[in-house]
Structure 1
Amino acid sequence: MQTVQTKYFQYGEEEINHLSRVDEVLGAAIQRMGKIERVIIPDLFAALVHAIVGQLISAKAAHTIWNRMQDRLGEITPRHIAAQSVEHIQQCGITRKKAVCIHELSQLISEGTFSLDALSDLSDTDVINKLTSLNGIGKWTAEMLLIHSMERPDIVSWGDIAIRRGMMKLYGHSSITKQQFDHYRRQYTPFGSVASIYLWEISFE
């Protein structure tokens, strides 16, 4: 089995102290929970495939499929995945739509038509715009890449159900509006990604 390299999202006292200062409720949760280690995938292509796999399914299901992909497909690189058939990719347990998306993406990158490396010089908004111009990639997928590979510091995704659920649990809401969400998101700036890491954890408690 070819295993994609991972590491933990880098953050420390500066981020924790800031969030605790601007939001006492979140600060109390951080103190209670201690440091949360969030696994990320530094390789942009592998991280993007991982995010596509995770679209609209549970984290547990995504984890199972991701392990199966690494086991059956081998290297998660543009050239290697482009050489696979859509059917073979789909047999790892994903929809045909996702398999087509991953295959097309692999071809675009291996041919040099689309450069993932060029994203590192762009703003968060421009990264999202660039990625969402591709077939099968929406804003949530782009935001997951920003956090889980590029380690951008200030991403809080409205499109992520677990983050919204974490906010509702943390602040005692039975539902949450976009306006309420944006209020909290602005409060977390410039360290929204660390807030997201805690909100994910809270949502599954």
Structure 2
Amino acid sequence: MYFQYGTKETDYLRQKDKRLCEVIDRIGPVERVVDTDLFSAVIHHIIGQQISTKAQATIWQRMQDALGSVTAETILAAGVPKLQGLGMTFRKAEYITDFAEKIHTGAFDLDAVERMSDEEAIRELSALKGIGVWTAEMILLFCMQRPNVFSYDDLAIQRGLRMVYHHRKIDRTLFEKYRRRFSPYCSVASLYLWAVAGGAIPEMRDYAPKKK
């Protein structure tokens, strides 16, 4: 399943910003896979921190093979040593079992998070061990499909902004200017900025000063 958006969002962004309009027209629809299950999305994101997407997928597959189905109960039954044996760090195994324990005891309510505002959901998710603000924002976008996520801490978003708008640096004030411009469809703008940062338009370059 891909992040759901259509002409309503792209027409709005095209009308609001000439350069983003050109980017949308050049790239066309962007397909980004989403995981709509919040429990597995949290675990996925903990596993995936500071490793490649391929390594993340390998560990996740091992986890499914080892546990049968990945639930709070099967994670707690496995314990930290077995999870670590699947290829993740000891700390990540601890974070995942801590999350599973909170789900099992009812200390963390996934259904309640689904109903929260973006700010509340980010605050609740980032209170979990192993989940920072950036990771919480990615869960909102790629799991909950929230339409207005724009992450200042995402280096590729900043790179995309530099490339499209020819900035040397993106500070918080400048970033917030773009957030206001793209709102309420920042998530779709993010998809296009990621695509640009990844080389979707070959002639676009990063205007950040070269490091000496």
- 5+ residue gaps, structure 2, are 200-212
**Which residue number corresponds to residue 48 of structure 1?**
42
Q: Identity rate of aligned residues, in percent?
A: 45
In structure 2, relative to structure 1, the CA distance for the partners of 1:69 and 1:176 (3 Å cut) is farther
In structure 2, relative to structure 1, the CA distance for the partners of 1:23 and 1:74 (3 Å cut) is farther
**Which residue number corresponds to residue 23 of structure 2?**
29
Matches within 5 A, 1:134-149: 134-149=128-143
Matches within 5 A, 1:109-148: 109-148=103-142
Which aligned segments of 4 or more residues in structure 1 are displaced greater than 6 angstroms? none
In structure 2, relative to structure 1, the CA distance for the partners of 1:162 and 1:73 (3 Å cut) is farther
Q: Measure the CA separation in 2 of the matches of 1:25 and 1:88.
A: 50
In structure 2, relative to structure 1, the CA distance for the partners of 1:31 and 1:139 (3 Å cut) is same
Matched, 1:82 2:40: no
CA RMSD in angstroms, aligned pairs only: 1.7
The 8 Å contact of residues 90 and 96 in structure 1, kept in 2 or not, is answered as yes
The 8 Å contact of residues 73 and 89 in structure 1, kept in 2 or not, is answered as no
**Which residue number corresponds to residue 18 of structure 1?**
12
Instruction: Give the letter aligned to residue 173 of structure 1.
Output: H
Report the alpha carbon displacement of residue 9 of structure 1 after superposing the two structures with TM: 1.0
Higher deviation after alignment, 123-132 or 73-82: 73-82
Instruction: Give the letter aligned to residue 138 of structure 2.
Output: M
In structure 2, relative to structure 1, the CA distance for the partners of 1:185 and 1:93 (3 Å cut) is farther
**Which residue number corresponds to residue 93 of structure 1?**
87
**Which residue number corresponds to residue 201 of structure 1?**
195
**Of the two, which has the highest radius of gyration?**
2
The 8 Å contact of residues 19 and 195 in structure 1, kept in 2 or not, is answered as yes
Q: TM-score, normalised by structure 2?
A: 0.86
Q: Measure the CA separation in 2 of the matches of 1:105 and 1:99.
A: 10
Report the alpha carbon displacement of residue 44 of structure 1 after superposing the two structures with TM: 0.5
Higher deviation after alignment, 102-111 or 78-87: 78-87
Q: Measure the CA separation in 2 of the matches of 1:40 and 1:91.
A: 27
Higher deviation after alignment, 163-172 or 57-66: 57-66
How many residues align structurally?
A: 199
Equivalent of residue 104 in structure 1, options 95, 98, 106: 98
Q: Measure the CA separation in 2 of the matches of 1:121 and 1:151.
A: 13
Report the alpha carbon displacement of residue 58 of structure 1 after superposing the two structures with TM: 4.0
Instruction: Give the letter aligned to residue 175 of structure 1.
Output: K
